[in-house]
Structure 1
Amino acid sequence: MSIISRRGALIAGLGGLTVLAGAGAAYGLVEEDVLPGRYRLAQHLGRCGSMPPLPRIRPGTVEQAEFRTPGGGTARVLLGYPGAVTKGLPVVVMLHGSDGDARTPFDTYGVHYHLADAVRRGVAPFAVAAIDDWAGPGWRPSPVTTRSLLPFLRHRGLATTRIGLLGWSIGGRGALLLAAERGPARVAAVAAASPALSGADVTALARTLGAVPASLTCGRDDAFATPAKNLLARLRAARRAEVTGGIHPGCHDAAFRRRMLPAQIEFLGRHLSRA
């Protein structure tokens, strides 16, 4: 059996400390998003949270329809209602994320369950509408959303003079951009969860969105937490309209967004009731 010298043991010990120190430094860099993998680390540590169950309630009615677009094509729209009443309701337009479609708000987030549950709890009723491929170049809201979808919804008997907007991830960014573009005269309130914002988006939205009531939430372990936090701070400092939400435990995933949905529906319903 070989004998390890004192000097060798000391060198080995220092090497171990170096490895530990390096691991600690790497952990810190991952935490600060300098190194990739923060989301995977958060999952491993159990910080993302699980998908919450849907409310134990009969969901609202969901209908699928199509409307004509200016180019002569058609677009799919899914309409959700809190109950039997389908006419005269204000409406929230929902913008899906980059890998979603018109069904995502219903199939992934169960918005029709949450809508029915909110109305049972006393939230003013409203309808929801989602379309496929809402985005144009640069993931900005396409004119189809306002020029074609809103007239279609009005023809279906919904109130579209002032609408609500709700979006997730890149759809959250789209909802905020559309709210800023149309302003408080056309948008009663906007809600965005995990919005995929850039620093340039924050600068522009801080200047143009302030008069529209906004609910903005993002997960603490979401790569977009910093721009979301910065936008919240700047909108609150402007004090031009109600701003709610915050940075909460969670990640850039559907579980976080479903956890945020009940509060966002209550927020939208409260402002739409004044529209």
Structure 2
Amino acid sequence: MKEVTRRGFLVTAGALAAGGGVAALVEAGVLPGRERAARALGRCGELPAPPPRPPGPVEEHTLRAGGETVRAVIGRPPGARPGPPLPVAVLLHGGGGNARTPFDVYAIQNYLADAVAEGTPPFAVASVDRWFLDGLVTDRLLPFLADRGLATGRFGLLGWSMGGDGALRLAAEQGRARVAAVVATSPAVDDTDARSYARRLTGIPVWAGCGDHDSFAEPTEELLATLRDAGERPQGGIYPGCHDAAFRRRMLPRQLPFLGHRLAGGTDD
């Protein structure tokens, strides 16, 4: 439990006196269960409908990895024309997810179509089951994507929850020579991990965000603060929301332009 300051104690004591009771202490972060309380009070927000723009093609493939069979899913923007290979962002699902989750739960293909129609440089997105298997992304998925006509010399990363942790870790391991940009949504990290990743992400554009009712909000703030202290200019922040699909969908219109412009070698500033 985080330390309670004198001011925080007085604020929450006032809330108790006003009839707020235990709920006020939970909301202030003094007692555990803040996200549960937010959900019960309807403060997490509804799952937004995806953009109505028709998405581009989504392909499902099978890979062999270390004696196991895994699925890989590739989404491209609508109307992709022959020419230079499209850059690609690798999507890392959260705990309990799989290669279909970014497409079936977050409708990333719809958000990608909308972003490209609004001026984001086109790029593909790709995911794989159990991305955390040793070497699966770097040794199996990326070569497979190259064989499918995508540019993988430098790639982007986007991860949710456990996948946000994985995206930060993989970006830190691969460095700016390979990673064009990394996006971490509600990354499942603690303060120590956040500081460690930040020190190893020098030169890599970072977007990190979390819901204000999410237990990972403070480590996300720590990650962003450590990056800024190191002279980096990360984007993202803490926004209204919880640790759920509704929050993650709401972030995609911010995140996909960030990725697309950097995969194309520029910025969206």
Asked if the contact 1:61–1:84 (Cα under 8 Å) also holds between the matched residues in 2, the reply is: no
2:36 is aligned to: 40
1:226 aligns with 2:218: yes
Partner residue in 1 for 2:54: 58
Q: 1:32 to 1:86 in 2, by over 3 A?
A: farther
1:171 correspondence with 2:163: yes
AA of the residue aligned to 1:228: T
Q: Which residue of 1 aligns with 2:12?
A: none
Contact 1:33 1:223 in 2 (8 A): no
Question: Which position in structure 1 is the counterpart of 2:178?
Answer: 186
Q: Hey, which bits of structure 1, 4+ residues long, moved more than 6 A?
A: none
Which residue is equivalent to 1:81?
76
CA offsets per residue over residues 9-56 of structure 1, 9 Å max, x none? Answer: xxxxxxxxxxx5497463343234443321121123332111111101
Alignment match, 2:123:
126
8 Å Cα contact 2:191/2:218 also seen in 1: no
Partner of 2:11: none
User: What TM-score, normalized to structure 2?
Assistant: 0.88
> In the alignment, residue 48 of structure 1 is paired with which amino acid?
C
The TM-score with structure 1 as length reference comes to 0.86
Q: Give, in whole Å, the separation in 1 of the partners of 2:55 and 2:132.
A: 28
How many residue pairs were aligned?
251
Residue in structure 2 matched with residue 243 of structure 1 by the alignment: 234
Deviation track 1:174-222 (CA, whole Å, cap 9, x = no partner) reads 1011111101110000011111111221121121113210110100000
Structure 1 residues 150-179: Cα deviation after superposition (integer angstroms, max 9, x where no partner): 111111110000000001111111101111
User: Greater CA radius of gyration, 1 or 2?
Assistant: 1
RMSD of aligned Cα (Å): 2.1
Equivalent residue, structure 1, for 2:249: 258
Structure 1: which 5+ runs fail to align? Answer: 1-19, 137-141
Who is 2:103 aligned against?
A: 106
Structure 2: give runs of 5+ residues left out of the alignment. 1-15
Verify the 8 A CA contact 1:86 1:127 in the aligned structure 2: no
